[in-house]
Chains A and B, each alone.
Chain A
């Protein structure tokens, strides 16, 4: 098989996956709306809208955020409709601090095969994409392209003030630093951005962490899922000691200053220890 054929088949698979995801999205929106629940689609498909058509943006599950009080009911409905692959979120939790009514009123409707799909407005979604990328400890190089294309292909009326000035200075800095990382490693152009100079200033620990994660090239996974594979389990334990400084800082709502991360890492480790032990113990007992 030639290289060209391989690329073509990869693209064909991408199209099928995308179609599958779109059918899931439509079914989920219909099912939830029939029961008076209005979801907002985040990440995945919503992020892929910013990509050029020729660039595949693979996505696994479908992320739907619903009002906190609708969460349990929405979960049951999704389960009842047998819609595998839906990742339900109780509002946006750590991903954003803007309240749900405001996110909802800012949100937009996009058409997907005749179904109205609700997505966050570009400014709100951009913050979510940045914080999500950081929450994963900056380990996913591929997903940094979400940031690149969201900036490059932002709507003409995109308002940076609406994006950055509605959250704390700490979170504002997180977003700008993520843009800075995309600039440093993926050549995202900063010309014309109101925070271009600020984005170029990145703490050393931040870039070191990103480079280390990319060199390591294995994603964080639940320890309990790796019990049958000692090598992978060992890798996952090593990945957690010490905790990823980006993840730990985000987890503790910490600032992206030049200061040491050890305090955040320690707090993060304590926070995660008990739930991790519980999950592993439960997985062992179930075997």
Chain B
């Protein structure tokens, strides 16, 4: 594991909403929404390109008030990278070990909640209220009456995004 790496959180093409205990992220490019728990959010925010993995571990440890190992940070980075929330993808550092095993190992040693990034599935009712109901994305925005703001704002399901 190279703990001198300096991950950078992706900033562009994302809608970020902080709520108590979690950070919600909508990826405008992939039309995917994620929910970062507090630990994952703290690590993500610390990925400024200046902090190394070791330094991020120390920062999060200070904020969370419990022991945070570098494996703990890597677990978050692994998920951030997988969900395209970093500027540059970082290769998985847990090769040969399943994430479940890593979580078990970290979880037993840590007093801080393990970092989790959950994918949000769009509730149909939420989208229905804003749906442009196009048959396919190119139809979106063809007419103002369709209710869809424009063609670029339509996801693959023919619904206004996000």
Contacts and interface: CB of A to CB of B under 8 A. Distances in A.
Interface in A214-229: 219-222, 224-225, 228-229
Contacts of B143: 222, 224-225, 279, 283
Contacts of B111: none
Contact of A61 (B24, B33, B149): B149
A15 B150 contact: no
B133 A6 contact: no
Interface in B106-150: 120-123, 125-127, 129-130, 132-135, 139, 142-150
A283 B16 contact: no
B123 A13 contact: yes
A279 to B, nearest CB: 6
Interface in A1-46: 6, 9-10, 12-20, 23
B19 interface: yes
Nearest to A286: B142
A12 B147 contact: no
B15 A16 contact: yes
Nearest to A142: B129
B162 A20 contact: yes
Contacts of B160: 60, 85
Interface in B41-84: none
Interface of A: 6, 9-10, 12-20, 23, 56, 58-61, 82, 84-87, 142, 219-222, 224-225, 228-229, 279, 283
Given A9-B120, A19-B17, 6 more contacts: A12-B24, A16-B17, A16-B33, A16-B162, A17-B130, A19-B26
4 interchain residue pairs of minimum CB distance: A222-B145, A58-B129, A222-B143, A85-B149
Interface of B: 15-17, 19, 24, 26, 28, 33, 35, 120-123, 125-127, 129-130, 132-135, 139, 142-150, 152-153, 160, 162
